[in-house]
Chain A
Amino acid sequence: MNARILATAASEFRISRRNRWVAIAVALMVVFSLVLAAAGSAPTGALGADRLSVTVASLTSLSVYLVPLVALLMSFDAIAGEIERGTLPLVLTYPAARWEILAGKLVAHLGVLILALVAGYGAAALMAFATDPDAASGLPALWRLTWSSALLGATFLGIGYAVSALARRPSGAAGLAVAVWLGLVVLYDLGLLAAVVADDGGSFTTDIFPVALLVNPADAFRLFNLSAAEATAAAAGIGGAAGAIPVWQSLLSVVLWPLLALALASLAFRRVEP
Chain B
Amino acid sequence: MTSTLTISHLTKSYDGVQVLTDVTLDVAAGQRVALLGHNGAGKSTLMKIILGLIPASGGTVTVCGGRPGSAQARAQVAYLPENAAFHPALTGQEQLAYYLRLRGRPATEALPLLSRVGLADAAQRRISTYSKGMRQRVGLAQALIGHPRLLVLDEPTSGLDPVSRRDFYDLLDGLAAEGAAILLSSHALTEVEARTDRLLILSGGKLVAQGALADLRREAALPVALHVTPHNGYVSDIIAALPGAIRVGEALHLTCTQDEKLAVLSRIAALQGKVADLDVTPPSLEDIYSHYSRRDGQ
A residues contacting B by CB (< 8 A) are 3-4, 6-8, 10-11, 14-15, 18-19, 85-87, 89-97, 273-274
Contact = CB atoms under 8 A, between A and B. Distances in A.
B53 interface: yes
Given A86-B85, A95-B74, A14 B53 contact: no
B233 to A, nearest CB: 64
Contact of A87 (B51, B52, B85): B85
5 contacts: A87-B86, A90-B139, A90-B142, A93-B52, A95-B71
A92 B81 CA distance: 11
Contact of A93 (B51, B87, B88, B98): B51
B77 A93 contact: yes
Given A4-B101, A95-B74, A95-B103, A85 B85 contact: yes
Contacts of A90: 79, 81, 84-85, 139, 142
Contacts of A11: 87, 90, 94, 98
Given A89-B81, A95-B102, A15 B87 contact: yes
Nearest to A86: B85
Given A89-B48, A90-B84, A273-B53, A7 B102 contact: yes
A10 B97 CA distance: 11
A14 B90 contact: yes
B54 interface: yes
Contacts of A4: 101-102, 104
B251 interface: no
A15 B102 contact: no
- Dominant SS at the A interface? helix
Q: Quick one: which of A7, A14, A96 has the most chain B CB within 10 A?
A: A7
B255 interface: no
B285 interface: no
Contacts, number: 72
B90 A93 contact: no
A53 B78 CA distance: 56
Contacts of A95: 71, 74-75, 102-104
A205 to B, nearest CB: 50
B89 A19 contact: yes
A4 B74 CA distance: 14
A93 B102 contact: no
A7 B96 CA distance: 11
A15 B127 CA distance: 12
A85 B54 CA distance: 19
Nearest to B77: A93
Interface in B45-91: 48, 51-54, 71, 74-75, 77-79, 81, 83-90
B99 interface: yes
Contacts of B53: 89, 92-93, 273-274
Given A86-B81, A89-B48, A7 B89 contact: no
B101 A18 contact: no
A6 to B, nearest CB: 8
Contacts of B85: 85-87, 90
Contacts of A96: 102
B87 A85 contact: yes
A94 B98 CA distance: 11
A167 B97 CA distance: 30
A24 B85 CA distance: 27
Contacts of B51: 89, 93
B236 to A, nearest CB: 63
Interface string B85-122: 11111100010001101111000000000000000000
A8 B74 CA distance: 17
A19 B103 CA distance: 26
A3 B101 contact: yes
Contacts of B79: 89-90, 93
A178 to B, nearest CB: 24
